[in-house]
Amino acid sequence: MDEQIATLNSIIAAGSSIVFFGGAGVSTESGIPDFRSTDGLYNQRYAYSPETILSHSFFMRDTAEFFRFYRDKMLYTDARPNAAHYQLAELEARGKLKAIITQNIDGLHQLAGSQQVFELHGSVHRNFCMSCKAAYPLERVLESDRVPLCDCGGIIKPDVVLYEEPLDQEVVEGAVAAIASADVLIVGGTSLNVYPAAGLLDYFAGEQLVIINRSELPGERRATLVIQGSIGEVLLQAVL
Ligand code: ZN
Protein backbone atom coordinates (compact mmCIF):
# COMPACT_ATOMS: atom_id res chain seq x y z
CA MET A 1 0.00 0.00 0.00
CA ASP A 2 2.83 2.45 0.81
CA GLU A 3 4.13 2.17 -2.72
CA GLN A 4 0.64 2.77 -4.10
CA ILE A 5 0.22 5.84 -1.88
CA ALA A 6 3.52 7.19 -3.17
CA THR A 7 2.38 6.59 -6.74
CA LEU A 8 -0.91 8.39 -6.07
CA ASN A 9 0.99 11.24 -4.47
CA SER A 10 3.09 11.74 -7.61
CA ILE A 11 0.04 11.42 -9.88
CA ILE A 12 -1.68 14.17 -7.88
CA ALA A 13 1.47 16.29 -7.87
CA ALA A 14 1.77 16.03 -11.66
CA GLY A 15 -1.94 16.53 -12.34
CA SER A 16 -3.30 19.96 -13.19
CA SER A 17 -6.95 19.14 -13.85
CA ILE A 18 -8.03 16.49 -11.38
CA VAL A 19 -11.63 15.31 -11.15
CA PHE A 20 -13.03 13.12 -8.38
CA PHE A 21 -15.98 10.82 -8.97
CA GLY A 22 -17.44 9.48 -5.74
CA GLY A 23 -20.11 7.04 -4.69
CA ALA A 24 -21.76 5.80 -1.50
CA GLY A 25 -18.41 4.66 -0.06
CA VAL A 26 -17.38 8.29 0.46
CA SER A 27 -20.38 8.91 2.71
CA THR A 28 -20.25 5.62 4.61
CA GLU A 29 -16.95 6.84 6.10
CA SER A 30 -19.00 9.68 7.63
CA GLY A 31 -21.38 7.16 9.17
CA ILE A 32 -24.05 7.39 6.48
CA PRO A 33 -24.96 3.85 5.51
CA ASP A 34 -25.73 2.93 1.93
CA PHE A 35 -29.53 2.78 1.89
CA ARG A 36 -29.31 -0.35 -0.23
CA SER A 37 -27.63 -2.22 2.63
CA THR A 38 -30.67 -2.87 4.78
CA ASP A 39 -30.33 -3.95 8.38
CA GLY A 40 -32.08 -6.85 10.07
CA LEU A 41 -34.95 -4.74 11.34
CA TYR A 42 -35.75 -3.48 7.89
CA ASN A 43 -38.41 -6.01 6.99
CA GLN A 44 -40.27 -5.37 10.22
CA ARG A 45 -40.50 -1.69 9.46
CA TYR A 46 -41.06 -1.51 5.71
CA ALA A 47 -43.22 -3.58 3.42
CA TYR A 48 -41.34 -2.55 0.29
CA SER A 49 -37.74 -2.50 -0.90
CA PRO A 50 -35.78 0.79 -0.74
CA GLU A 51 -35.76 0.87 -4.54
CA THR A 52 -39.56 0.71 -4.59
CA ILE A 53 -40.12 3.32 -1.87
CA LEU A 54 -37.60 5.67 -3.48
CA SER A 55 -39.37 5.59 -6.83
CA HIS A 56 -41.37 8.38 -8.41
CA SER A 57 -44.54 6.31 -8.66
CA PHE A 58 -44.34 5.30 -4.98
CA PHE A 59 -43.80 8.94 -3.98
CA MET A 60 -46.97 9.89 -5.84
CA ARG A 61 -48.93 6.88 -4.54
CA ASP A 62 -47.96 6.84 -0.84
CA THR A 63 -46.24 10.11 -0.03
CA ALA A 64 -46.57 9.64 3.74
CA GLU A 65 -44.82 6.26 3.68
CA PHE A 66 -42.13 7.71 1.40
CA PHE A 67 -41.37 10.41 3.97
CA ARG A 68 -41.37 7.89 6.84
CA PHE A 69 -38.61 5.96 5.04
CA TYR A 70 -36.87 9.11 3.84
CA ARG A 71 -36.52 10.61 7.31
CA ASP A 72 -35.56 7.25 8.80
CA LYS A 73 -33.04 6.06 6.19
CA MET A 74 -31.92 8.97 4.03
CA LEU A 75 -31.36 11.87 6.43
CA TYR A 76 -28.30 11.97 8.67
CA THR A 77 -28.24 15.50 9.99
CA ASP A 78 -25.42 14.82 12.47
CA ALA A 79 -23.03 13.45 9.82
CA ARG A 80 -19.83 15.46 9.36
CA PRO A 81 -17.38 15.50 6.47
CA ASN A 82 -14.55 12.97 6.74
CA ALA A 83 -10.91 13.15 5.65
CA ALA A 84 -11.83 12.39 2.03
CA HIS A 85 -14.14 15.42 1.85
CA TYR A 86 -11.56 17.72 3.44
CA GLN A 87 -8.62 16.52 1.34
CA LEU A 88 -10.61 17.03 -1.87
CA ALA A 89 -11.63 20.53 -0.77
CA GLU A 90 -7.95 21.25 -0.09
CA LEU A 91 -6.97 20.06 -3.59
CA GLU A 92 -9.57 22.37 -5.09
CA ALA A 93 -8.34 25.31 -3.00
CA ARG A 94 -4.85 24.68 -4.40
CA GLY A 95 -6.26 24.87 -7.93
CA LYS A 96 -5.48 21.26 -8.76
CA LEU A 97 -8.91 19.71 -8.50
CA LYS A 98 -11.48 21.11 -10.93
CA ALA A 99 -14.63 19.26 -9.95
CA ILE A 100 -16.25 16.64 -7.78
CA ILE A 101 -18.96 14.47 -9.24
CA THR A 102 -20.95 12.65 -6.59
CA GLN A 103 -23.75 10.16 -6.40
CA ASN A 104 -24.37 11.17 -2.78
CA ILE A 105 -27.14 13.54 -1.71
CA ASP A 106 -25.86 14.59 1.73
CA GLY A 107 -24.08 17.84 0.84
CA LEU A 108 -20.95 16.88 2.81
CA HIS A 109 -18.53 18.01 0.06
CA GLN A 110 -19.92 21.54 0.23
CA LEU A 111 -19.84 21.41 4.04
CA ALA A 112 -16.12 20.60 3.78
CA GLY A 113 -15.60 23.65 1.55
CA SER A 114 -15.77 22.25 -1.99
CA GLN A 115 -17.20 24.67 -4.57
CA GLN A 116 -17.57 22.81 -7.85
CA VAL A 117 -19.75 19.82 -7.01
CA PHE A 118 -21.97 18.03 -9.51
CA GLU A 119 -24.63 16.17 -7.54
CA LEU A 120 -25.91 13.56 -9.96
CA HIS A 121 -28.69 12.45 -7.63
CA GLY A 122 -29.57 15.84 -6.18
CA SER A 123 -29.40 17.00 -2.57
CA VAL A 124 -31.48 16.64 0.58
CA HIS A 125 -30.70 20.29 1.26
CA ARG A 126 -32.85 21.51 -1.63
CA ASN A 127 -36.60 21.02 -1.51
CA PHE A 128 -39.32 22.46 -3.67
CA CYS A 129 -43.08 22.84 -3.53
CA MET A 130 -44.61 20.75 -6.28
CA SER A 131 -47.30 23.39 -6.83
CA CYS A 132 -45.67 26.84 -6.61
CA LYS A 133 -41.97 25.78 -6.81
CA ALA A 134 -41.10 27.64 -3.58
CA ALA A 135 -37.73 26.52 -2.18
CA TYR A 136 -37.31 25.13 1.33
CA PRO A 137 -34.33 24.04 3.42
CA LEU A 138 -33.99 20.58 4.93
CA GLU A 139 -35.31 21.91 8.25
CA ARG A 140 -38.75 22.25 6.74
CA VAL A 141 -38.80 18.53 5.94
CA LEU A 142 -37.64 17.69 9.46
CA GLU A 143 -40.12 19.96 11.24
CA SER A 144 -43.04 17.57 11.20
CA ASP A 145 -43.41 13.83 11.00
CA ARG A 146 -45.96 14.07 8.23
CA VAL A 147 -45.86 14.99 4.57
CA PRO A 148 -44.16 18.42 4.50
CA LEU A 149 -46.44 21.07 3.06
CA CYS A 150 -45.76 24.44 1.50
CA ASP A 151 -47.49 27.58 2.76
CA CYS A 152 -49.61 27.30 -0.41
CA GLY A 153 -50.73 23.80 0.59
CA GLY A 154 -48.63 22.00 -2.02
CA ILE A 155 -46.42 19.01 -1.21
CA ILE A 156 -42.74 19.77 -0.65
CA LYS A 157 -40.59 17.33 -2.63
CA PRO A 158 -36.87 16.82 -1.98
CA ASP A 159 -34.66 17.71 -4.96
CA VAL A 160 -33.41 14.13 -4.98
CA VAL A 161 -33.49 12.00 -8.12
CA LEU A 162 -35.87 9.11 -7.47
CA TYR A 163 -35.97 5.85 -9.37
CA GLU A 164 -37.91 6.32 -12.64
CA GLU A 165 -36.83 9.96 -12.73
CA PRO A 166 -34.22 11.29 -15.18
CA LEU A 167 -30.99 12.88 -14.01
CA ASP A 168 -30.80 16.66 -14.27
CA GLN A 169 -29.45 17.29 -17.75
CA GLU A 170 -27.46 20.38 -16.76
CA VAL A 171 -25.72 18.46 -13.98
CA VAL A 172 -24.90 15.58 -16.32
CA GLU A 173 -23.52 17.94 -18.96
CA GLY A 174 -21.36 19.69 -16.36
CA ALA A 175 -20.05 16.34 -15.13
CA VAL A 176 -19.29 15.17 -18.67
CA ALA A 177 -17.43 18.39 -19.49
CA ALA A 178 -15.37 18.09 -16.30
CA ILE A 179 -14.44 14.47 -16.98
CA ALA A 180 -13.68 15.15 -20.63
CA SER A 181 -11.14 17.86 -19.77
CA ALA A 182 -9.53 16.07 -16.79
CA ASP A 183 -5.97 14.76 -16.89
CA VAL A 184 -6.47 12.74 -13.69
CA LEU A 185 -9.69 10.99 -12.72
CA ILE A 186 -9.95 9.56 -9.22
CA VAL A 187 -12.90 7.25 -8.63
CA GLY A 188 -13.80 6.39 -5.04
CA GLY A 189 -16.41 4.38 -3.22
CA THR A 190 -18.47 3.28 -6.16
CA SER A 191 -18.77 0.15 -8.17
CA LEU A 192 -18.03 1.22 -11.69
CA ASN A 193 -20.60 -0.99 -13.31
CA VAL A 194 -23.49 0.98 -11.82
CA TYR A 195 -25.31 3.57 -13.90
CA PRO A 196 -24.36 6.35 -14.45
CA ALA A 197 -20.75 5.82 -13.39
CA ALA A 198 -19.87 3.47 -16.22
CA GLY A 199 -21.19 5.73 -18.95
CA LEU A 200 -19.59 8.90 -17.57
CA LEU A 201 -16.17 7.27 -17.34
CA ASP A 202 -16.22 6.76 -21.10
CA TYR A 203 -15.73 10.51 -21.54
CA PHE A 204 -12.38 10.43 -19.76
CA ALA A 205 -9.52 10.98 -22.20
CA GLY A 206 -6.75 11.70 -19.69
CA GLU A 207 -3.76 9.59 -18.73
CA GLN A 208 -4.33 8.65 -15.11
CA LEU A 209 -7.40 6.78 -13.91
CA VAL A 210 -7.15 5.98 -10.20
CA ILE A 211 -9.61 3.76 -8.36
CA ILE A 212 -9.90 3.69 -4.57
CA ASN A 213 -12.35 1.30 -3.00
CA ARG A 214 -12.74 -0.67 0.22
CA SER A 215 -13.86 -3.84 -1.43
CA GLU A 216 -12.17 -5.48 -4.34
CA LEU A 217 -13.34 -4.27 -7.72
CA PRO A 218 -13.65 -6.18 -10.92
CA GLY A 219 -10.71 -5.31 -13.14
CA GLU A 220 -11.01 -1.93 -14.81
CA ARG A 221 -8.78 -2.16 -17.86
CA ARG A 222 -7.98 1.52 -18.15
CA ALA A 223 -7.03 2.04 -14.51
CA THR A 224 -3.40 3.02 -13.98
CA LEU A 225 -3.70 2.55 -10.23
CA VAL A 226 -6.13 0.59 -8.07
CA ILE A 227 -5.94 0.98 -4.28
CA GLN A 228 -8.01 -1.13 -1.95
CA GLY A 229 -8.65 0.81 1.24
CA SER A 230 -10.49 3.61 2.99
CA ILE A 231 -10.85 6.65 0.73
CA GLY A 232 -10.36 9.01 3.66
CA GLU A 233 -7.17 7.28 4.82
CA VAL A 234 -5.73 6.96 1.32
CA LEU A 235 -6.31 10.64 0.52
CA LEU A 236 -5.05 11.67 3.94
CA GLN A 237 -1.75 9.98 3.17
CA ALA A 238 -1.52 10.83 -0.51
CA VAL A 239 -2.48 14.52 -0.36
CA LEU A 240 0.22 16.22 1.65
ZN1 ZN B 1 -46.21 26.08 -2.73
For residue 54, how many C-alpha atoms fall within 13 Å in the half-sphere facing its CB?
Answer: 18
Q: Indicate the pLDDT class of residue 181, thresholds 50, 70 and 90.
A: very high
How many angstroms separate the alpha carbon of residue 159 from the centre of ligand 1? 14
pLDDT tens string 203-221: 999 999 999 988 876 666 7
> Which residues have CB less than 5 Å away from ligand 1 (the ion)?
129, 131-132, 134, 150, 152, 154
Cβ-contact 31, 203 below 8 angstroms = no
How many angstroms separate the alpha carbon of residue 126 from the centre of ligand 1? 14
Q: Is 121 a known active-site residue?
A: yes
pLDDT tens string 12-62: 999 999 999 999 999 999 999 887 776 656 667 899 999 999 999 999 999
**Cβ atoms < 10 Å from Cβ of 205:** 11
**Residue extents of the structural domains in the chain:** 1-31+81-121+162-240
The pTM of this model reads 0.94
Q: What CATH class has 1-31+81-121+162-240?
A: alpha beta
pLDDT tens string 59-81: 999 999 999 999 999 999 999 99
Query: What's the mean pLDDT in 173-196?
Result: 89
Length of the chain: 240
